[in-house]
Amino acid sequence: MKGYFSELENKTVVVTGGSKGIGKDIALTFARLNANVIISGRNREALDKTLTELHEFNDKCIAVPGDLSEIREVRKLIDTAAETFGSVDVLVNNAGVNIAKPAMEVTEEDWDTVLDLNLKSAFFASQAAAGYMLKQQSGRIINIASQMAFVGYYKRAAYCSSKGGLVQMTKALAVEWAKQGVRVNAVAPTFIETELTAKMLEDADFKKEIDDRILLDGLSKPEDISGAVLYLASNLSNFVTGETIKVDGGWTAI
């Protein structure tokens, strides 16, 4: 009998924002299972560094640089994955940005920057991937949302709006594509301990507030999110669609 997750071997897995933090750990998790991973991001140097690590597990993995707030770059990414490997089996919409400002200081440019990457690009990446998945009659789309889709927080008006929209988009696409074998789900993390959040967490008051709100000990790590993503990408979740798994250490339970 084959082991858990063996069905992911040689599957085509696209991870947006795959060069750092959560996205990098997700990409490495799939590469370790010998999936053909395609990562995207704007920083070519960071992409190349992560690609070197991916090649330690599967030398067929590739990187596609691009700004996914530009929809033509989104379509190029998905088409490149399909042309290179012959299918698109898993899409992880991880690319995202936050501009932390009080609501009264948010500009139209701030709003568009956050919504274009966090929500708009995820929709059009899903649409492009579904163009292949619907023909295959199979596929998994996994959106990286946030606990901020369910609770409010200071200086997060645009971010909360984008992630709340992502959760609802997850449900809408799941409803539309279920009969064609495409499952659409999301993972909603709390604050994660990565190089991207290190500076933010240097604020002692901010760090204490997070620690007080999370019921479990310590901060979440990227591998906590990768575990949930792996479950949703695998046969273990065959009867799950339209769902958002909160990986928040109990933050939203109170």
- For residue 138 the two structure tokens come to 């199979």
- For residue 43 the two structure tokens come to 């920083």
Quote the Cα angle for 41-195-163, to 5°: 60
CB atoms within 10 A of CB 203: 11
Q: Which residues pair with 15 in a beta bridge?
A: 39, 92
Q: Whose structure tokens read 């379509």?
A: 75
- For residue 213 the two structure tokens come to 């709100």
Q: Which residues pair with 168 in a beta bridge?
A: none
Residue 159 known to be catalytic: yes
- For residue 129 the two structure tokens come to 């991937």
Instruction: Pinpoint the alpha helices (H) of 178-247.
Output: 204-213, 222-233
> 4, 153, 154, 159: which one is catalytic?
159
Quote the Cα angle for 40-229-70, to 5°: 30
CA 50/CA 57 separation, integer angstroms: 12
Sheet containing 12-15: give its strands across. 62-65, 36-41, 12-15, 90-93, 139-144, 182-189, 244-247
Residues annotated catalytic, as ranges: 159
